[in-house]
Structure 1
Amino acid sequence: MLAGADKRDLNSHNHSQFETPTGLTPIIARFYLYSIFKNLRFSDPFLILYFLDLRLSYTEIGLLMGFQHLITVLLEFPSGILADSWGRRRATALCFVFYTLSFIGLGATDLRGVIPLFAWLSGCLTFFGLGEAMRTGSHKAIMLDYLDSTSQAELATQLIGRTRAASKYSSGAAAICGGILLTATRDYSWLFYLSAAAAICGFFLMLTYPRELEGDAFRARQSQADKGEPKVEGFRSMWRQSGFLAILVQSILFESQTKIALKYFTQPFLKVGLQLFGVAIVAPLGVSGIAASGALWVGLSEFVRDGLGGFGARLSATYEQWAGNRFFALNQIFTCGFVAVTCLAFCNWNLQWGLFPGLLLLFGLTILQNMRRPIFVSTLNTKMPKTRRASVLSLESFIRAVTVAALLPVIGIAADAFGLVAVWAICAVILSFGFIFRLDANSLATPTDEPHA
């Protein structure tokens, strides 16, 4: 059983529903620390720029990142089932081991000897893909399981929103620190080594999680008393629930396209835009001042964007309450995201005037993405069997990763042929299919829970 401090009623109107009079409960504090260590990736805001600095084309970068997602795809759903049966705590700890190996390898790229560059990078991204496969779904399932065990399932959006905010604030801090470090050293390797150090801390943190958070299926296997509904029948009943397919498809489309736009092509967008103003990301020796400050501007941009992402995550519970209906809230966010991506395509026609409006749109899209995710997870939580949470969340992430893996090489080829405008145009077209799967807001409404007009 969970410790007494973690079982107390968190529905009181104290400063925070996840605090005791002496501070955060031990388990909630660990959730925050996990979010921090997972996102202290100092190299993330500069990874694509690093590849471009290695003289890779957008097509080659698309193939590399598509390969990483393919590795994740192949193990995504099996890893969720493994986490449910072997233990979510163990699976999440293992993901940090793979992250560490990946970051150390990327940092040591110049020491690869006779190994071809593309093969070396593929190996490093293989470890990262393995880490992503072990992580996705597992920790969210741990948090949802904790809320159930303390009779607080209704606080899912709030807890996920707050921990996601901590993730974004940590990413922002890592981005600005990474920008300062890269500007000072002009060496990408230190960014990867610092990221590896944070991953090692995450591994040791997971070892401190109590065994009670391994998951219901793990505990049932340990006691040999699993009398719940069969796995196959549980999944069948889940797919028959009203709105489940629409929730899943809309999420996959939104998350995959915003990930492509925000994670993989924001950096090239900034690099091309800054070059038009004579600013280099990593300037040659002898160049100083504004002309050598590109890495700092990229870090600052990521810092602001991650800060806004944290704000969006914290705003999710408030927006959900205002909307009065989770389906209505998800529909509105999806529509706004489609408009933002479409406008970004127009900004890329001429970055001399479109750079700053494009940045504002990227900031807005970041808020929408992070505001939406906690609402989606808490909505999906009402539609899936409790013992299969990691499996279902991994299924959603699996299909999303398939989409990203398939599209990245294609979008890379299009970017090489037509420029970055093709990236946003393709993402907008794909997002438009999501309107076919608009969620029926009335299906969740109650007499006192009507969506706003």
Structure 2
Amino acid sequence: MFNATHMILRFYLYSFFKNLRFADPFLILYFLELELSYSEIGLLLGLQHLVTVLLEFPSGIFADHWGRRRATALCFAFYTLSFCGFGMTGQLTEVPVIFWLGGCLALFALGEALRTGSHKAIMLDYLDSTDQSALATQLLGRTRSVSKITSATAAVSGGVLLAWSRDYGLLFYLSAGAAVCGFLLLLTYPRALEGDSFRARQSTSVSSEESLRKPFRMMWQQANFRRLFIQSVLFESQLKMILKYFTQPFLKTGLALFGIPIIPPAGVSGLASAGAIWVGLNEFLRDSLGALGARFSPGYELQAGSRSHALNRIYLVGFFAVLFLAGCAVNLKWGLLPGLLLLMGLTLLQNLRRPIFVSALNTQMLKTERASVLSLESVSRAVTVAVLLPLFGLAADQFGLLAVWILAAVILLVGFLFQIRLEEVSRQESPG
């Protein structure tokens, strides 16, 4: 049915094109360059997550029924429009910058809503069809490792390009080119990977109402599933805000204490002109560690003895890392380097954890509803981020970045009420 080597290669290429985003490590710095406050940035990013929240679960159902391959291809089209829009910021002077950026982020959010859950569901469907379901953590870990290696390469390349060109627009246009390649790649996926619901609709009718009810019954009737789900939402949402939205300001503030701007004035050379390169290098190291974490995820799962033990340990270490990060923010002159090391450690933990979590979730998902359930988990994370980002931005404006780390640590404390207690779940226990 499938050529295994060719399909695995396509999964790796998908991870490559999805993460070849040269502008991503500099997005918050770009907003700060446009003289937006942390509160305004929080509102804009909250809008992005709100759009994702509104569309993500319906898009998961859409992907399960219209076709996961088609939905994932369409997401790259929206990425392309979004990146091109960012590159054109300021060219239409009659449109206020904040509204223009909001539109670009909304397009990106629409692409995210279509993508989230769909491609993981495609990979899990492929493993089922080739009788390799037991290798879920291994495949997810390896593809995530490719994603992080690509992000690392894009980050350091973007830093060099930004230091050379002093133009953020170039990074966005290069990212748009990678998104076009991703769109074309998805069109080469076989139609057999559109999903079980899509295939069933080709031969018989399926009750959409019944299809919608099954994931909810399956999830919330199982106490262990609820713990797994809630812990994941708390951990992933806090780490996303810390790593994606506040690492760049942390590094920018720290470098400024040593007289190193991100984009130096014309004529400045030497160490003082390398701010963008330092940012790119930091992202390179973090994403490289993320790739390492994803690659060793299957081995750590075996070493921990069960997925529940592995996930609980990672959560505990992550909490203390955020707590120590708050200590580093008290005095950035001595805390910058330890803080950056802690952020690298959090990236490692996040990527070590994610493949194990998806594998655990997969044992309890209906096969026909994978994209829907994965999208629902992602929606819950997006809701949390959308609600908290403006609050975190306001706290950063009023009290500095220290307030961000403290708030994140307090929220992570709640997760200890939802420790995962299930023993390793076998596939025979899966409702799928």
What TM-score comes out, normalization by structure 1 length? 0.92
Task: Report 1:359-374 matches (<5 A).
Answer: 359-374=340-355
Q: Which runs of 4+ in 1 moved over 3 A?
A: 225-230
Structure 1 residue runs of 5 or longer lacking an equivalent are 7-24, 447-453
Q: Distance in 2 between matches of 1:56 and 1:235?
A: 40
Residue 412 (structure 1) shift: 0.2
Matched AA of 2:168: Y
Distance in 1, matches of 2:160 and 2:215, equals 51
1:176 pairs with 145, 148, 156, which one?
156
1:67, 1:93 → 2: CA distance?
A: 24
**Partner of 2:268: helix, strand, or coil?**
coil
Q: Deviations over 1:16-50 (max 9, x none)?
A: xxxxxxxxx11110000000000000000000000
Residues 103, 228 of structure 1: alpha-carbon distance in 2 compared, 3 angstrom cutoff: closer
CA distance in 1, matches of 2:240, 2:56: 17
Mean CA deviation greater in 236-245 or 180-189:
236-245
Q: 1:395 and 2:414 equivalent?
A: no
- Residues in 2 aligned to 1:386 and 1:159: alpha-carbon distance in whole angstroms: 17
- Out of 110, 115, 127, the residue aligned to residue 147 of structure 1 is 127
Distance 1:233 1:185 in 2: 53
234-243 or 261-270: bigger deviation: 234-243
User: What is the distance in 2 between the residues matched to 1:445 and 1:37?
Assistant: 34
Q: Which residue among 313, 317, 322 is the counterpart of 1:336?
A: 317
Amino acid across the alignment from 2:315: F
Structure 1 letter corresponding to 2:125: D
For residue 22 of structure 1, what is the aligned residue in structure 2? none
Alignment of 1:396-415 (within 5 A): 396-415=377-396
1:96 aligns with 2:76: yes
AA in 2 matched with 1:200 = V
Contact 2:264 2:272 in 1 (8 A): yes
Q: Secondary structure at the match of 2:106?
A: helix
Match of 1:318 among 286, 299, 302: 299
How far, CA to CA, are the matches of 1:227 and 1:216 in structure 2? 14
Contact 1:241–1:383 (CA<8 Å) still a contact in 2? no
Distance, in Å, in 2 between the alignment partners of 1:76 and 1:283 is: 40
Q: Say what the alpha-carbon RMSD is for the aligned residues.
A: 1.4
Post-superposition Cα deviations, 1:264-317, rounded to whole Å, max 9, x if no partner, equal 000000000000001010011111111111000000000010000000000100
Quick one: distance in 2 between partners of 1:228 and 1:144?
22
Q: Matched residues in 1 for 2:276 and 2:218: separation? A: 51
* Residue in structure 1 matched with residue 22 of structure 2 by the alignment: 42
Match of 1:224 among 193, 204, 211: 204
Quote the Cα distance in structure 2 between the aligned partners of 1:226 and 1:438.
37
Kindly state the Cα deviation for residue 407 of structure 1 after the two structures are TM-superposed.
0.5
The answer as to whether partners of 1:414 and 1:423 remain within 8 angstroms in 2 is yes
Instruction: List runs of 5+ in structure 2 lacking aligned partners.
Output: 427-432
CA distance in 2, matches of 1:121, 1:444: 45
How far apart, in 2, do the equivalents of 1:177 and 1:237 lie?
Answer: 45
Matched residues, percent identical? 65
Name the aligned partner's letter for residue 190 of structure 1: L
Scaled by the length of structure 2, the TM-score of the pair is 0.96
- 2:59 counterpart (79, 102, 105): 79
Q: Separation in 1 of the partners of 2:181 and 2:218?
A: 40
Q: Is the 8 A contact 1:45 1:267 kept in 2?
A: yes
SS of the residue aligned with 1:110?
coil
Give the alignment of 1:129-144 within 5 angstroms. Answer: 129-144=109-124
The 5-angstrom pairing of residues 373-452 of structure 1 reads: 373-441=354-422, 443-444=423-424
Using the alignment, how far apart are the partners of 2:163 and 2:114 within structure 1? 34
Task: Tell me how many residue pairs correspond in the alignment.
Answer: 425
Which residue, 314, 332, 335 being the options, matches 1:351?
A: 332
1:203 to 183, 189, 196: 183
Q: Could you say which residue in structure 2 is the equivalent of 1:125?
A: 105
Question: Match of 1:109, SS?
Answer: coil
2: distance between equivalents of 1:241 and 1:58?
A: 40
Distance in 1 (alpha carbons) for counterparts of 2:413 and 2:63: 34
Distance in structure 2 (CA, Å) of the matches to 1:28 and 1:233: 30
